[in-house]
């Protein structure tokens, strides 16, 4: 679910802007609508990710579910991506309303700012990994092969 939020928070603003500009012109792209598209995209990602994982787990054997859970617990790259995303989300949930106070509704400022921050945190994680600071690898105890 968190991956769906992070990815769709990253993809929603440019997709919305491209759609709105091509369909209605530049006058229809406002800060309020862009921030709303960001958090609605994030909520859609949460729902899609949750549904995907539910179906995936419902049709898997208990051993496969256990192995996936253990691998997810020790996946330091995913943990670092989530940490960067959370830090960015909290930071931008405060910064975006402070900067753009009169340009959008308070709900869209806070939730959209959190979505933008989450996306920036995810990009920061991938940037660190790309430029030579990968997360350490953890040894997974007791993992049975599929």
User: What per-residue confidence (pLDDT) applies to 1?
Assistant: 82
Nearest residue to 33 via CA among 112, 90, 97, 91: 112
Nearest residue to 14 via CA among 141, 103, 115: 115
* Counts for the chain of helices (H) and strands (E), in that order: 5, 0
CA-derived radius of gyration, the chain: 18
In terms of Cβ atoms closer than 10 Å to its own Cβ (0-12, 13-18, 19+), residue 145 is exposed
The SS3 call for residue 133 is coil
Extract the residue ranges of the chain whose pLDDT is less than 50.
none
User: What per-residue confidence (pLDDT) applies to 143?
Assistant: 62
User: What per-residue confidence (pLDDT) applies to 137?
Assistant: 86
Place of tokens 């405060």: 94
Give the distance from CA 44 to its chain's centroid.
11
In this predicted model, what pLDDT tens digit does every residue of 93-116 receive, in sequence order?
Answer: 999 999 999 999 999 999 999 999
Domains of the chain by residue range: 2-130
């Amino acid at each position: 679910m968190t991956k769906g939020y992070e990815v769709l928070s990253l993809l929603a603003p440019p997709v919305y802007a491209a759609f709105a500009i091509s369909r209605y012109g530049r006058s229809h792209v406002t800060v309020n609508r862009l921030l709303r598209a960001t958090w609605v995209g994030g909520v859609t990602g949460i729902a899609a990710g949750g549904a995907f994982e539910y179906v995936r787990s419902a049709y898997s054997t208990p051993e496969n579910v256990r192995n996936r859970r253990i691998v997810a617990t020790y996946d330091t790259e995913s943990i670092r991506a989530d940490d960067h995303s959370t830090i960015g989300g909290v930071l931008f949930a405060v910064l975006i309303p402070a900067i753009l106070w009169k340009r959008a509704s308070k709900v869209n400022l806070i939730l959209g700012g959190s979505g933008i921050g989450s996306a920036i945190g995810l990009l920061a994680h991938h940037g660190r990994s790309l430029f030579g600071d990968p997360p350490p690898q953890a040894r997974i105890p007791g993992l049975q092969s599929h």
